Structure 1
């Protein structure tokens, strides 16, 4: 559809000129047109029988830009029907043919002028209906296309427009007067989105205070991880530290850092978030007993990729503003290699003597092991001895009594326990030591699992292991 603004008939301009094809004029059609003065898209229905030179008057809502007062204004819409052949021929009328029905107020059925009556909307006696000049057709402007695309067609309520001839005389086009009927149309509008206000950047002192508080919370959680003494405690502490990291990441992310360190602040938050994933891996390693104490867990965390990125981000933050020299990250352990501490073969960790019994142990495995001899009814070992992998030990002077033999094995003995790859078990059978004037008991144990062995063993909960 081409819409022209301007146009004239009998030297009087119309507000809008719309072009209809001959078929559209004959059958009626709804058109979306750009209404002045701002090109707002409005849908208008043109009833059947429209002819070249007719004018429709449309009431539109109007907001006075100066006062903001809402009212209506009348816009005249002239119809242009280019020559494209005659209207479809009128249906037969007369004896033997159905009546086309009563004449409709305001216009006659297509092709049937009503004799003896001036037809509203048609040239009346004494008037010459002729074409009118208009500026060259133009498409909708950019703004009109954008609005139409956003809100679709305008909402039209109760349209029943009667075409009227634009006369030379000053005709009153208000609703309910003369031969003109007006129709109000309503255009849809979109809600306007309001951008969220941006918080003012913190001053350097407040920003440093926020960093200090986050560092304090993280340091406390890391301290609990370091003090864990069993795989279960390590897993729990790693999960708790991950939650603290998540909380402090959110807290720091919500801050508006000083402009000089805004980029470094974003990198810091991103790196801190990555550390949370590293802690999930530490927790899983504790569940599988790859790490067994807080020391080995802390060392594993210190070598993680997230920890390395966080160190770089902390350094960049401190250098971003030489005047402020922001400080953060004392909770993060320095990159630490795994240790491999061992005791000498046959070293006693605990020993109670006073008898003649002996225990000979052959550690045919490659891992170091600690043997705990625990007397029935006691929770503490009477004898605890360190045996290196592929080594043997003989323990003497064992008091008479019935004992359970517990074993722990792994890597890196920190003085009390293995810190990595730890395993805990016990022999299912008990061992009785008896001394008489002629004999005493000697037990020989092989720790290497072999076919045909006569002693079974079971796993022990690390938190219940006697030490």
Structure 2
């Protein structure tokens, strides 16, 4: 429909004019426009508080018909706010038929992006407002019968039909996107699995959550092949649930119920979100037997916790050459590793494994002054406890001296006792001597 936008302005015409009722301008609304030059129907979202005379620069997808090159082009869309009680031109799509896009994903200064991919189009805020710039712009309150390229679109057809103009990805391109997401997720899962301290586990879990969020967002923006549209949506949803589950993994590391990446990864594989993701991956592969889409190599099968232990009295490290002895009574139920570290050294001279409710005597300790560090927990992987780990040290040092007639014997109890004569303090796992 040709309209007169009002004379007296000399800045040139806007390419499209959209009429909004006063209520729509105040509350915000989605509108479908006939985008020039070919009248392609594209939905854009106008934020609450739209003002009469504002011009929004909208980036539209564009494929050069000569070369097939995909790019964007900018269209100036002017807003006309009708007086209270007036309504947009007949044939406009009812604003109640569209859901406004989630605004949290966009910054307050984002350009408006219009995407004709069969999904709700995203919006940003208006650029610097200008006056209507001419009197011969086309009014688009929606796609109307007066535009020859859109005469088949009516207000009674579903929103998806009105805007689904871009073709879906071909199977090869869709698989390529899945492969890239799988690659990024595999790398982040590997980093989690290699973490060796609770702090490193928490950091790796947070980083993995961010990678899951990024890849889920990327996949959600794809136009999947028609045969797998539903399975594709379920996959994106399952990835988002996995992201939430990683918050629990990070919290478990902070509380030291999981202490290594191996234990954290095992816990993740057993989570309900992981099971849902496996179901979505299987459904995606089966949705198109011809394509057999592949995804999810980063997610191993559900893994049970292990409970590995060393034999009581096993030496993990031992430097001999003296006559001193250290007698250890582990009255606790958990297994413990006792490290005897010479003052000023970074590595233990003696490291011995003491099972819960067991005793060990280690001898041939060289003369010197030592600190005693203690780590305890469940499931010894050969270097550290993977779950329920604790780290501490005796506050007092232990001096070993040998003469021609005598040598030093120290006896320690690892269980807290009333009236005990030794105190201990917690130690940062990252600085624990191993």
Tell me which of 197, 200, 211 is aligned to 2:167: 200
Tell me which of 151, 165, 175 is aligned to 2:86: 151
Tell me which of 279, 283, 307 is aligned to 1:312: 279
Aligned 1:38-57 pairs, distance under 5 A: none
Say which SS state the counterpart of residue 451 (structure 1) adopts.
Answer: coil
1:193 Cα deviation after fit: 3.6
Give the RMSD, CA atoms, in angstroms: 2.1
Tell me which of 293, 297, 309 is aligned to 1:330: 297
Tell me which of 350, 358, 366 is aligned to 1:383: 350
Q: Summarize deviations over 1:193-245 as a string: whole Å, max 9, x none.
A: 45655431100000000000000000000000000000000000000000000
d(CA) in 2 for partners of 1:402, 1:312: 59
Which of 1 and 2 has greater Rg? 1
Q: Summarize deviations over 1:81-103 as a string: whole Å, max 9, x none.
A: xxxxxxxxxxxxxxxxxxxxxxx
Tell me which of 305, 312, 333 is aligned to 1:345: 312
Q: Summarize deviations over 1:84-125 as a string: whole Å, max 9, x none.
A: xxxxxxxxxxxxxxxxxxxxxxxxxxxxxxxxxxxxxxxxxx
Are 2:310 and 1:361 aligned?
Answer: no
Aligned 1:106-125 pairs, distance under 5 A: none
d(CA) in 2 for partners of 1:306, 1:421: 23
d(CA) in 2 for partners of 1:218, 1:296: 18
* Matching residue of 1:371: 338
Aligned 1:27-106 pairs, distance under 5 A: none
Are 2:375 and 1:426 aligned?
Answer: no
> What is the TM-score with the length of structure 2 in the denominator?
0.64
* Matching residue of 1:99: none
Say which SS state the counterpart of residue 375 (structure 2) adopts.
Answer: strand
d(CA) in 1 for partners of 2:326, 2:83: 95
d(CA) in 2 for partners of 1:337, 1:377: 41
> What is the TM-score with the length of structure 1 in the denominator?
0.60
Tell me which of 402, 407, 415 is aligned to 2:369: 402
Tell me which of 424, 444, 450 is aligned to 2:411: 444
* Matching residue of 2:105: none
Aligned residue pair count: 287
Question: CA 1:378/1:148 → structure 2, altered by over 3 Å: closer, same or farther?
Answer: closer
d(CA) in 2 for partners of 1:301, 1:319: 25
Tell me which of 265, 271, 274 is aligned to 2:232: 265
d(CA) in 2 for partners of 1:198, 1:335: 42
d(CA) in 1 for partners of 2:331, 2:166: 68
Say which SS state the counterpart of residue 277 (structure 1) adopts.
Answer: helix
Aligned 1:250-289 pairs, distance under 5 A: 250-289=217-256
d(CA) in 1 for partners of 2:260, 2:427: 17
Question: CA 1:387/1:274 → structure 2, altered by over 3 Å: closer, same or farther?
Answer: same
Aligned 1:217-232 pairs, distance under 5 A: 217-232=184-199
Say which SS state the counterpart of residue 168 (structure 2) adopts.
Answer: coil
Say which SS state the counterpart of residue 327 (structure 2) adopts.
Answer: strand
d(CA) in 2 for partners of 1:305, 1:200: 35
Say which SS state the counterpart of residue 299 (structure 2) adopts.
Answer: coil
Q: Summarize deviations over 1:161-215 as a string: whole Å, max 9, x none.
A: xxxxxxxxxxxxxxxxxxxxxxxxxxxxx96145655431100000000000000
* Matching residue of 1:295: 262
Tell me which of 411, 421, 440 is aligned to 2:378: 411
Point out where structure 2 has 5 or more consecutive residues left out of the alignment.
1-81, 88-138, 144-161
* Matching residue of 1:77: none
Q: Summarize deviations over 1:404-447 as a string: whole Å, max 9, x none.
A: 00000000000000000000000000000000011100000000
Q: Summarize deviations over 1:316-361 as a string: whole Å, max 9, x none.
A: 0001111100000000121000000000000000001111100000
Are 2:243 and 1:243 aligned?
Answer: no
* Matching residue of 2:77: none
Point out where structure 1 has 5 or more consecutive residues left out of the alignment.
1-146, 153-189
Q: Summarize deviations over 1:267-305 as a string: whole Å, max 9, x none.
A: 111001100011000000000001000000000100111
d(CA) in 2 for partners of 1:346, 1:150: 88
